[in-house]
């Protein structure tokens, strides 16, 4: 697998009102490969959003480098191409929808690319199909549910034909059914359209569905691996104040009480299989 995002020893600081500097990224190195589904977790202020904004050149490193498909995000001439390769979806769907009709909203990006009308039509239709929102093409976004609005925001990104979608807590403002809709959509895009996904979340049950989990703390990456390996580090995660998935917590408690739960189960199905054996 080829790396599609490469982060090399990146430092970043924000200047606050007193002109003091807070280190938001403190020596981060990371490679994300084509087709991967990566979850980034960590508590508030650990640097997740700051890192995500480096992936599509919304921020540039103070030192170190970020490459997206080989393009350095510091290279101003490449910023436009980088943003086409790597699209971003944010927490609040209301802030991302700009038009009064769904299909006009999805067309907004391709129109800005100056594409011919036939190509725009094609992209909008395909993007709405990918998020299963074709029936709502003529609807007004503000009549949709939170999950549906977020799927429209994702369609707007897909219409730009990105290779990577970075989602910064896309489900934080949604109810459980909206969260599921959005997660199903994102997994569909990863599996069926090969889009690389970077998903920032504070829901551990979402993180276990990723191929890989990256844990951030105080601007550094402290754990990085498949969900089962990362969530095996229950004590480290608790020390930094993070939750673990319910099943992991249950296995941890049972093991502590003297039971022996083999295989580090991370979801209910695995736990049920182990307990029934
Ligand atoms: P997370 O996404 O994990 O919650 P952030 O990347 O938003 O973390 O924040 C990392 C650090 O940078 C925190 O200390 C936060 O207070 C600080 N920070 C984030 N955005 C700004 C900003 N616009 N101005 C000043 N400090 C900021």
Residue 114 half-sphere exposure toward CB, CA atoms < 13 A? 0
266 band by pLDDT with thresholds 50, 70 and 90: very high
The pLDDT tens digits of the residues spanning 59-97 come to 999 999 999 999 999 999 999 999 999 999 999 989 999
Best of 12, 19, 45 for a ligand 1 pocket test (most atoms within 8 Å of beta carbon) = 45
% of the chain exceeding 70 in pLDDT: 99
86-89 and 164-168 beta bridge pairing: parallel
Strand ranges (E), 181-219: 196-200, 212-217
User: Across-strand partners of 39?
Assistant: 199, 213
In 97-108, which positions are buried (b, 16+ CB within 10 angstroms) versus exposed (e)?
A: beeeebbbbbbb
Phi/psi of residue 65, each to 5°?
-140, 150
The preferred substitution site among 11, 14, 221 for testing ligand 1, maximizing ligand atoms within 8 Å of CB, is 14
- Dist CA 183 CA 191 (whole Å): 12
Q: Within 6 Å (CB) of ligand 1, which residues are found? A: 14, 16, 22, 24, 42, 44-50
Quick: pLDDT tens for 6-27: 999 999 999 877 767 778 999 9
Give me ligand 1 centre to Cα 214, in Å: 18
* CATH architecture for residues 5-244: 3-Layer(aba) Sandwich (3.40)
222 DSSP 8-state letter: E
Q: Where along the chain do its domains lie?
A: 5-244
* pLDDT, tens digit, 9 for 90 and up, residues 115-126: 999 999 999 999
CA dihedral 114, 119, 125, 129 (to 10 degrees): -100
Residue 16 Cα: closest atom of ligand 1: 25
């Amino acid at each position: 697998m080829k790396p599609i995002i490469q982060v090399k020893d990146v430092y970043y600081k924000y200047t606050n009102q007193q002109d003091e500097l807070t280190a938001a990224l403190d020596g981060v190195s990371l490679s994300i490969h084509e087709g991967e589904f990566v979850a980034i977790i960590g508590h508030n202020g650990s640097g997740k959003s700051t890192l995500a904004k480096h992936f599509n050149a919304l921020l540039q490193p103070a030192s170190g480098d970020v490459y997206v498909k080989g393009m350095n995000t510091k290279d101003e001439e490449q910023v436009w191409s980088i943003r086409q390769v790597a699209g971003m979806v944010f927490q609040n769907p209301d802030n991302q929808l700009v038009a009064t009709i769904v299909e006009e909203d999805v067309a907004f990006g391709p129109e800005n690319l100056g594409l011919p009308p036939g190509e725009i039509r094609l992209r909008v239709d395909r993007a709405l199909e990918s998020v299963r929102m074709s029936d709502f093409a003529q609807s007004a976004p503000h009549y949709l549910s939170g999950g549906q609005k977020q799927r429209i925001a994702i369609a707007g990104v897909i219409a730009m034909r990105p290779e990577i979608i970075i989602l910064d807590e896309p489900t934080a403002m949604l109810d459980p059914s909206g969260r599921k809709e959005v997660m199903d959509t994102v997994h569909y895009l990863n599996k069926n359209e090969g889009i690389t996904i970077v998903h920032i979340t504070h829901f551990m049950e979402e993180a276990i569905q990723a191929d890989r989990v990256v844990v951030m703390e105080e601007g550094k990456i402290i754990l990085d691996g498949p969900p089962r390996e990362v969530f095996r580090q229950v004590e480290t995660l608790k020390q930094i104040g993070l939750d673990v998935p319910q099943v992991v917590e249950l296995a941890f408690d049972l093991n502590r009480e003297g039971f022996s739960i083999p295989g580090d189960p991370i979801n209910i199905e695995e736990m049920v299989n182990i307990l029934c054996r």
